[in-house]
Amino acid sequence: MKSPPGEIENKSKQLARLESFSDGVFAIAITLLILELIEMLHSSGRAELGKLLLAHWKSFLVFLIGFLTILVCWINHHLVLSFAEKTDGNFFWVNGFVLLVVTFTPFPTAILAEYLEKESHLALAIFGFNYFMMSIAAYCITVYINNRLTSHEKNELLHCYVLLYRWSIIYTLIVFFVCLIAVPLAIALYVLLFVVFAFPKEFASKLMAMRNKRKRRSSRRMTAG
């Protein structure tokens, strides 16, 4: 399909608008989490303040978890999108899928806050299922940018992100089932996942270095052979 000249010029402006819209969605989703804590305050019917806060320490923890989850999503979205050079009609929907998962996140977070004590297995599994969906969304957007929206012929770092997100799909799927069996193990595995995606660039770079080393070794072996 041919596009008129006026549109081609607008390409990078369109990408900027997609970013600013996405930033808005992330910013609102991350800020709405506090409404849960305020709701808790109101629904407690003016109990004694000290006792109230101590009784609800889990709500604070869950607020922090929700905040960090969305922040990690934003950091990864931001990094991956920095490779895109243009945008197209399908990309709105790939990005829209990411935004759907991000927008949805306050809901499993609220479930975690209300049901962690009573139905810990199911509550954590629902929250973990959200991580699984996030991994799929991150994988989709990275693959799409890698295949269609970047001109770097063979951007190795971006390719490592693709691998990283592909592994995270399998990883989060496994941990989702672990949630139903052993809550503490699942939490430990989520913390590990979290550490990796808090610094995606560093891990992708390490991955790249490892792959290059292996390649060189195998090419040497081939030369030797």
Residues 31-50 binding a second copy (CB under 8 A) are 31-39, 41-43, 46, 48-50
The residue among 102, 165, 109 whose CA lies nearest residue 139 is 165
User: CB-wise, 40 or 175, nearer to a second copy?
Assistant: 40
User: CB-wise, 119 or 170, nearer to a second copy?
Assistant: 119
Smallest gap from residue 123 Cβ to a second copy (A): 6
Among positions 81-100, residues that touch a second copy (CB under 8 A) are: 82-83, 89, 92-93, 96, 99-100
Q: 2-33 burial by CB neighbour count: b if 16+ within 10 A, else e?
A: eeeeeeeeeeeeebeebbeebeebbeebbebb
Residues 6 or more apart whose Cβ sits within 8 Å of residue 155: 83, 146
Cβ–Cβ contacts within 10 Å for residue 88, how many?
13
Contacts with a second copy, 161-180, as mask; x by CB under 8 A = --------------------
Per the CB < 8 A criterion, the answer to whether 138 and 157 are in contact is: no
Piece of the chain touching a second copy by CB under 8 A; list 113-121, 130-138, 163-171, 211-219: 113-121
Contacts with a second copy, 123-162, as mask; x by CB under 8 A = x--x-----------------------x-x--xxx-----
Return the residue of 114, 143, 183, 194 that touches a second copy, per CB under 8 A.
114
Regarding 225 and contact with a second copy (CB under 8 A), the answer is: no
Regarding 29 and contact with a second copy (CB under 8 A), the answer is: yes
Per the CB < 8 A criterion, the answer to whether 46 and 82 are in contact is: no
Piece of the chain touching a second copy by CB under 8 A; list 77-85, 129-137, 187-195, 212-220: 77-85
CA 116/CA 170 separation, integer angstroms = 24
Regarding 214 and contact with a second copy (CB under 8 A), the answer is: no
Start-to-end C-alpha separation, the chain: 50
